[in-house]
Amino acid sequence: MRAVAHPVRVGLLELLYQRGPLTASACALLLELSPKVCSYRLTLLGKYGLAEETGEGKGRARPWRLAMTEVSYVHRPDEPVAAADAADEYARTMLARQTRIIEVFIARRRRLPTAWRNVATISETSLQLTAGQLRKLGDELRAVTARYEQESKPSSAGTRAVHAVLYAVPIELPDLVR
């Protein structure tokens, strides 16, 4: 969990998903970072099994690819404090990233090609659920995205990277008003 809880590492994983195998130098160019930073972060992702070298190239010309396609976390009440802290760090990193993605989308949506305008969904609803119903809702929403993930072909003609985030969390109104 801690391996993914960093904006650069999350950005590298997203880049490898969208563009396929890339070298640290190519990642650095696309993310506007130094090759050294990207190389170090890719090595860390490799250490934790999230990315891997393709076996081609040498030195900085070694391409990296995704070794996984999804990172998710479900809190266990009996988990160690260190694991819970790592999960909290991951959640904060992802929330900041998701906020930025939506802000950029809103700022740039009028410049999208016509076919891509007005097809995005930003919605919310309030529900009264039991804990069991909330678990079932999460399972069903993940099943829907998994079905589309099976059809997803990065870099295929007519496709664009689409960021899908599903929130279904219990809330307390005082927390939202502060």
pLDDT digits (tens, 9 = 90+) for 44-74: 999 989 999 999 988 768 999 999 866 666 7
What single-letter DSSP state applies at residue 57?
S
Rounded CA gap, 159 and 152, in Å?
A: 9
* Residues of the chain predicted below pLDDT 50: 176-178
Q: How far is CA 167 from CA 61, 126, 177, in A?
A: 39, 11, 19
The pLDDT of residue 124 is 83
pTM: predicted TM-score of the whole model, two decimal places: 0.67
Q: Tell me the domains of the chain and their CATH numbers.
A: 1-120 (1.10.10.10), 123-178 (no CATH)
The residue written with tokens 């030195």 in the block is 59
